[in-house]
Structure 1
Amino acid sequence: MEDNSKHSSPEVKKLSDLISDIKIAMLVTVSGGNSLHSAPLVTQGIEADGSLWFIISRASQKASDIQNENRVNITYSGSSTYVSVTGFAELIDDHPEKVRQMWSKGYEVWFPQGPNDPNVQLLKVEIEKAEYWEGHSNPVSKMLEFVKLTTGSKHLKMGSHGELNLRH
């Protein structure tokens, strides 16, 4: 994932740190009839303003949903990190240099003509807020916290939880 958050706010830096090692995210869109639709995708980059970038298919349900309702949720789940991002999606055209910058050979499965494939669509999500949960990744720490829980200890610390406000 391309990280352009080096010169950003502490909130954007924290979000970047939380999601940088998580390869696959789930994008939740609002489909026709107000039902929710989830689909996996790969985060291609995070900008200094906190915007997230993705490559999707122009013919996908994601693109169709976003044309009708641009409010989205993106979830990330790592070994001990969970992040829920809400924001506004925008389908971006006419940025072939951005497509080439984010392109990897793996996309050729979906886009056989490469970065110039007419179905390639850029998706930018301007983040409104993010909520995160961080737990212990060390198995011994998890076991000690479980023992505290089962013995009735009142001093439990199963990880941390926070919210990041990234409104522009």
Structure 2
Amino acid sequence: MTTTTEQNPNIYQLARLIQDIDCGMLTTIDEDGSLHSRPMERTSDIQADGTIWFFTNASTHKVFEIKNSQQVNISFKSDDAQRYISISGIAELIKDRQQMQHFWKPELQAWFPQGLDEPDIALLKINITRSDYWDSESQFQQETITL
């Protein structure tokens, strides 16, 4: 049986909240315990299983940080609406060629000039555990979505 985000209302709601936001700030925990954030281009919509994907180079410092502590946060802010989303999850590095082909978009060529032939290319898979959001519709009250 195929599962869609529409079959899980929490995943569907979260997917709807970030559907028009392409870039988020990924925060990892450095080896000294400090937080480190950087912008990341969203590779996929939120999947039915509660995951979100990003392309990366496997030899970056963020990957080193994730190997030491898999807990991450991704924050999104919409440009056209007053909507803020904070997603917590567990990250893992994936080097599966089939998955990369599935998620590849031509816009990623700017960061990966050789495309999928880039020697260091990989995916970050974030298994979402919790999300908080604030928006003008909820009068900026914090709402939590637990997956």
Q: How many residue pairs are counted as aligned between the two chains?
A: 142
State how far apart, in whole Å, the 1-side matches of 2:43 and 2:87 are. 15
What runs of 5+ residues in structure 1 fail to find an aligned partner?
A: 137-156
Give the drift of 1:34.
0.6
Give the drift of 1:19.
0.4
Correspondence for 1:9: 8
Correspondence for 2:62: 62
State how far apart, in whole Å, the 1-side matches of 2:141 and 2:35 are. 28
- Indicate if the aligned counterparts of 1:96 and 1:116 stay in contact, CA closer than 8 A: no
SS at match of 1:21: coil
Q: Cα RMSD between the aligned structures?
A: 1.7
- Indicate if the aligned counterparts of 1:8 and 1:49 stay in contact, CA closer than 8 A: no
TM norm structure 1: 0.78
Correspondence for 1:35: 34
1:127 paired with 2:133, answer: no
TM norm structure 2: 0.88
1:165 paired with 2:146, answer: yes
The 1:5/1:53 distance shift into structure 2, 3 A limit, reads: farther
Correspondence for 2:103: 102
SS at match of 1:34: coil
- Indicate if the aligned counterparts of 1:26 and 1:41 stay in contact, CA closer than 8 A: yes
What runs of 5+ residues in structure 2 fail to find an aligned partner?
A: none
> What amino acid is aligned across from residue 119 of structure 1 in structure 2?
D
The structure that has the greater radius of gyration is 1
